[in-house]
Amino acid sequence: MKHLFLLTVLFYHYTVSAQTIIQRDIEIEKMVKEVSADSLKSYIKSMVSFGTRNTLSTQSNPKRGIGAARNWVLGKFNEFAKQSNGRLSAFIDTTTLQPDKRRIDTITLLGNVVATLKGTDPNDNRIFIISGHLDNMRSSPTERIGDAPGANDDASGCAAVIECARILSKHSFPATIIFVTVSGEEQGLLGSAFMSEKAKKENWNIVAVLNNDIMGSNNSNETNIINKRQN
């Protein structure tokens, strides 16, 4: 009985000692609570409404194609800039693509929608990037006419980027955060390559990249674990 009591005391001491005390950051907790399912849903529905967001699709139609989708994202970023005390600025970063006889069949203006939340510490040159790809495709990367909703691939990821911009632009951080919806992903990661080449040329101090692709899936392609309660 004495040995049993001693074993119980030791087990209790070990359990108490092994407990991990989590110190939650109050500001982070507040930001997490600001995430809105309704906002995410509305962003995805808006992106789907453009019919197709193929990189080669029309850029002159105000209601359809990649051009309209880019302008819509830019409008959301500019809307959030109004609450950032002048720290958030956005633009469409463009480059011209030449036909490659594979996934690009005509001269095309590629555009990444970029919003930069400037850090508050002038001595902190770190950059954190939150990204998703705005473009989508049907069975062929050059099929730019037919509907391609792309709600999951990758309007869901872009919705995450946009929602992060909405929430984080109301807060201050010492380092800079860049929110970007890239184009040309389905043509071979061209928008990302364009941005990475620019970052290398300008010597950006990139600390981390959080890329969001197919956020709406609950099936892990690496583990084949299906979790209907968590994406």
Flag whether 68 is in a domain: yes
Antiparallel, parallel or unpaired: β 108-117 and 205-211: unpaired
Q: How many structural domains compose the chain?
A: 1
pLDDT in tens, 167-180: 999 999 999 999 99
CB-based burial label for 46 (10 Å; 0-12, 13-18, 19+): middle
Residue 57 CA: distances (Å) to CA of 30, 97, 180: 40, 14, 20
Q: Are 131 and 212 in contact (CB under 8 A)?
A: yes
Flag whether 7 is in a domain: no
Model's pTM, two decimal places? 0.85
Flag whether 194 is in a domain: yes
Which amino acid does the sequence have at 5?
Answer: F
Flag whether 28 is in a domain: no
User: Mean pLDDT score of the chain, rounded to an integer?
Assistant: 89
Q: Are 91 and 85 in contact (CB under 8 A)?
A: no
Rounded to 10°, the helix 157-168/66-81 angle is 20
pLDDT in tens, 89-134: 999 999 999 999 889 999 999 999 999 999 999 999 999 999 999 9
Flag whether 76 is in a domain: yes
Which amino acid does the sequence have at 175?
Answer: A
Can you give the length of the chain in residues?
231
Q: Which of 177, 180, 203, 59 is nearest to 121 (CA)?
A: 177
Flag whether 56 is in a domain: yes
Q: Are 67 and 53 in contact (CB under 8 A)?
A: no
pLDDT in tens, 49-85: 999 999 999 999 999 999 999 999 999 999 999 999 9
Flag whether 98 is in a domain: yes
Q: Which of 53, 75, 52, 72 is nearest to 62 (CA)?
A: 72
What is d(CA 87, CA 57) in angstroms, rounded to the nearest whole number? 33
- The backbone region for 114, taken as left when phi is positive above 0, alpha when psi lies in -120 to 50, beta otherwise, is beta
Flag whether 15 is in a domain: no
CATH of the domain at 85: 3.40.630.10
Kindly give, in sequence order, each residue whose CB lies less than 8 Å from that of residue 172, ignoring residues fewer than 6 positions away: 87, 120
Domain that holds residue 199: 36-211
